[in-house]
Amino acid sequence: MNRIMETLASEHGISLSENTLKRNMNAWGLSIRPRIKVTPEMRQRIYDLFYQERYYTDQQMAKILRRDGFVVSFRKLAKLRKEMGLSKRKDTIIPANPVVPGQVTQTSSDDDDDHDDDDDDDDEDDEDAQDDENDMEVDAIMALENATRPQQPTRRPPPPAAQVREPAWRKKRPSNAAQPVHQAPRIPTTFSDSRHSPVPPSRPIVRSPTPPRNIDDSSAPTDTETYSQPPANGQGLARRVTTLVTRIQAIEAENTSLKQQADQQRTEAQELRQLVQQQRNEMDMMRASLNELIARFNAAHYAI
């Protein structure tokens, strides 16, 4: 396409864009990509390759056809093959190493030896099977009984159920359930705020005796309700007040810095306004002097 555009520009002086040239060529029926010329010789060659060598793929057939002098791609070949009614069968046997005409194939002696050994093994298996058939002789009475007796289907034992294998990291529970299970003691809670802390008792509380329980309490932990005393003399409240004061001071410092930045930006904006006003005044003065010069020039050269 570029060569056509260069030729038109150099020889005929016609300059066209690529899109315009493509549109005109399509309107005139010209295509850059060559079309396939389907000839009887090509069809006959495709028939020969399809029926004689069924294990050829479309890529291999296209390669052979190009070697024979035909211009065709494997995609166009597949479309042409379907139009000719040559559809690939599902039971086509494709060898591992298909032989393409014109290619050199190499065979190794090891493969031949392996094939010979396989043939010998097959012969021995056939002889063993024939010997087994000769040994299996049934009397006429037994054959009659087997024919008259209804054959019951042999039941196969069900496959064993798959056992769930537990991971190694999972600890196994003790087999003896009478022994108590060890329970970790409860971690005491530390209160940092006096508002959420329980009120310390001013006098000892006398608890009433509890009735005996029927269940065994040997497995229950002994220190399940252990709480630490709240900080004395309001230390928790003082610590909270100190924290709030620190946060307030930090916020005030941040607000002060923001105000300073706003003042600085306001000062810079005022300076910019003054500079713009000064430039406007200078432009007005220059415009007035230019108009005065134009008036003098017109009066001197175009005076009536």
C-beta separation of 187 from 226 below 8 A: no
pLDDT of residue 34 exceeding 50, the answer is yes
Between CA 180 and CA 172 the distance in angstroms is 15
- Cα torsion for 54, 57, 60, 62, to the nearest 10°? 100
SS3 16: coil
Between CA 275 and CA 286 the distance in angstroms is 17
Q: Which of 4-8, 48-52, 271-275 has the highest mean pLDDT?
A: 271-275
| Amino acid letter, residue 242 | T
What residues contact 219, with CB distance under 8 A and at least 6 apart? 180, 181, 183
C-beta separation of 99 from 105 below 8 A: yes
Average pLDDT over residues 135-156: 60
- Residue 4's pLDDT is what? 83
Tell me the CA distances in angstroms from 77 to 40, 51, 60, one per residue in order: 14, 15, 11
| Amino acid letter, residue 1 | M
Percentage of the residues of the chain whose pLDDT score is greater than 90: 17
Structure confidence at residue 254 as a pLDDT band (50, 70, 90): very high
Provide the whole-model pTM: 0.23
- Residue 281's pLDDT is what? 94
Structure confidence at residue 203 as a pLDDT band (50, 70, 90): low
Instruction: Share the mean pLDDT of the chain.
Output: 71
Between CA 4 and CA 10 the distance in angstroms is 10
- Residue 27's pLDDT is what? 84
Between CA 165 and CA 162 the distance in angstroms is 9
What angle do helix axes 74-83 and 58-68 make, rounded to 10 degrees? 100
Residue 138 gets which letter from DSSP? -
Detail the DSSP E strand segments found in 188-302: none
